[in-house]
Amino acid sequence: MSPLITPAELAEPGDAVTLLDVRGGISGPPGIDRYREGHLPGALFCDLDADLAAAPGAGGRHPLPSAEHFQNAMRRLGVTRGKPVVVYDDAGSTIAARAWWCLRYFGHDQVKVLDGGLPAWDALGLPIVKDEPTATPGDFTAVPGGMPVLTADEAASLANTGVLLDARSAERYRGEVEPIDPVAGHIPGAVSAPTTDNVTADGRFLAASDLDARFTALGVTDGTPVGAYCGSGVTAAHEVLALHLAGYPAALYVGSWSNWVANPTHPIATA
């Protein structure tokens, strides 16, 4: 089953889904404010920092939450194991992909991303509401291990033995700018692969064949171990989703660059 769902498909009458609005979190107005200005009918707000990550620290700016923390957050939002979940944002699925990845990692196997997010829904003239529904507490049990992850050492090794994709902008990869983390550059051996190239101008994912061609050009082949990282493990989840659409399983370095530079002994490459 495709991990994507179109607005038209989501709008069709059918089986109920748990709908999560995961806008905001990295830049721009707080996600909860945007949610209250208007959201899909029935959607509940899921916060990147509070629900999809642990507190920032040496593990990175968005480290993996504990199973207990994530389970409690998802139950509060009405997530159950046997009911499909659809996640969306308004930023080309950047944050939604992190929610998709977390749910998959913790054992939920029926998760879809709304392709194009809120803008694509709005473009079809589908309803946007301000009323906030009350969730019926869910019974989701979080069991970690559903998606592969990388430690810092494993990411460094993969850069030499497989393909490690850097999902940040090319300028950050080259070390020309670093607007967030204290050190600029990239993990030696990593390949620049900005997530912005995974989607069209209107925020929809490229066709699987186009994604396949993109990743093949970056050195990804069948049987080659692949991993992805970014600044804090959010947009790298988008890279993992794009790789999945292209037919390539990939591991996520959750701590990503913010974890890498926390250790002063880690080597840094530029240009």
- Rg of the chain over all Cα atoms, to the nearest angstrom: 18
DSSP state of 1: -
211 and 251 housed in the same domain = yes
- Phi, psi (5° rounding) for residue 211? -65, -40
Residue 28: pLDDT band with limits 50, 70, 90: low
- How confident is the model over 266-271, as a mean pLDDT? 94
102 in active site: no
What range does the domain containing 9 cover? 4-123
Question: Rounded distance, CA 233 to CA 191, Å?
Answer: 16
pLDDT single digits (tens) 80-106: 989 999 999 999 999 999 999 999 999
Q: Does residue 54 belong to any structural domain of this protein?
A: yes
CA distance 160 to 118: 39
Stated pTM of the model: 0.96
> Which residue stretches of 106-255 are H helix?
117-123, 152-161, 170-174, 208-217, 235-246
Neighbours of 107 (CB within 10 A): 18
Confidence of residue 15 (pLDDT cuts 50, 70, 90): confident
Establish if 42 belongs to a structural domain: yes
What mean pLDDT is predicted for residues 50-76?
96
- At residue 133, what is the residue type? P
Instruction: Flag whether 141 is in a domain.
Output: no
What total number of domains does the chain contain? 2
Establish if 185 belongs to a structural domain. yes
CB 96 within 8 A of CB 116: no
* pLDDT, position 247: 97
* Confidence grade of residue 34 (pLDDT, cut at 50, 70, 90): very high
pLDDT bin (cut points 50, 70, 90) of residue 236 is: very high
pLDDT at position 14 is 75
> Would 135 be classed as within a structural domain?
no
> What are the φ/ψ torsions at residue 124 (nearest 5 degrees)?
-90, 0
* Catalytic one of 102, 230, 234, 242: 230
List the structure tokens of 62.
């968005």
